[in-house]
Amino acid sequence: MRISELAAATQVPVATIKYYLREKLLHDGVLTSATQARYDDSHVRRLKLIRSLIGTAGLSVSATREVLLGLESPPESGHDLLGIAHHAVTRTAPDDVDLSSAQKLLDRWGWGAATCDRDTQAALVAALHGLSEAGFDAPAALLDRYAAAMQDIAEADVDTVPTDSAEAAMRHVVLGTLLMEPVLLAMRRLAQQSASFQRFGGTGS
């Protein structure tokens, strides 16, 4: 398949495909001459994946590259796979952030295994700080209910990880983490509308 056919098959402009090739998001096609190369199904699949990560999950090009690299590299440990996905959506925390508030929450929720991921803890601390700076104080009881719901979701996540193939497991974990986030947020908004209507009524305008 030529580049124009690849573009037609994926609805991605040729210029954009060339850009992804330059940025090493997409692997090169097989050169058949100095100015011709052939692409195949693997390029179609990869391109759709790239578009989902950039478009749906909102990753940057460089974060997408890291995720794709992670998907290709040997799995090492089943647990560490999460790090690939989480690192892609979490900016690295400086050394001097105070994570004690996050540690206290992790203790309360029994999430001891998460105590080693400083970056995500810092993201939690930053998000809670942004909340309180805005004058919104989240009661502990509310956070506890959130934590219980998120634990349900996380258990559903690991329950559905395929155990037959390490590669399938890796793919599942990374994509399930990244691409499911917008799904969850949209579901929350819809559930809020439903709950709000049942509680307060509404005009539906």
Where on the chain is the footprint of DNA (CB under 7 A)? 2-5, 13-16, 18-19, 21-22, 28-29, 31-37, 54, 60-62
Categorise residue 29: left if φ over 0, alpha if ψ from -120 to 50, beta otherwise: beta
- Residue 121: is it exposed, middle or buried by C-beta count within 10 angstroms (0-12/13-18/19+)? buried
From CA 68, how far away is CA 24, in angstroms rounded?
A: 10
Compute the least distance from the CB of residue 43 to a second copy, in Å.
14
Reference 71, options 92, 55, 52, 94; nearest CA is: 52
Tracing tokens 């400086």 back to the chain, one arrives at: 94
Reference 122, options 157, 146, 156, 97; nearest CA is: 97
From CA 203, how far away is CA 199, in angstroms rounded?
A: 13
* Interaction of residue 48 with a second copy, rule CB under 8 A: yes
With CB under 5 to 8 Å by kind, the binding choice for 4 among DNA, a second copy, none is DNA
**Token pair belonging to 126:** 């930053």
Q: Write each residue from 159 to 188 as x if it is in contact with a second copy (CB under 8 A), else as -, in one continuous string.
A: -x----------xxx-xxx-xxxxxxxxxx
With CB under 5 to 8 Å by kind, the binding choice for 40 among a second copy, DNA, none is none
With CB under 5 to 8 Å by kind, the binding choice for 199 among DNA, a second copy, none is a second copy
* Interaction of residue 92 with a second copy, rule CB under 8 A: no
The single residue among 18, 24, 27, 45 that binds a second copy, judged by CB under 8 A, is: 45
Compute the least distance from the CB of residue 32 to a second copy, in Å.
28
Residue 187, amino acid: M
Chain positions 118 to 137 lying near a second copy, rule: CB under 8 A, are 120-121, 123-124, 126-131, 133-136
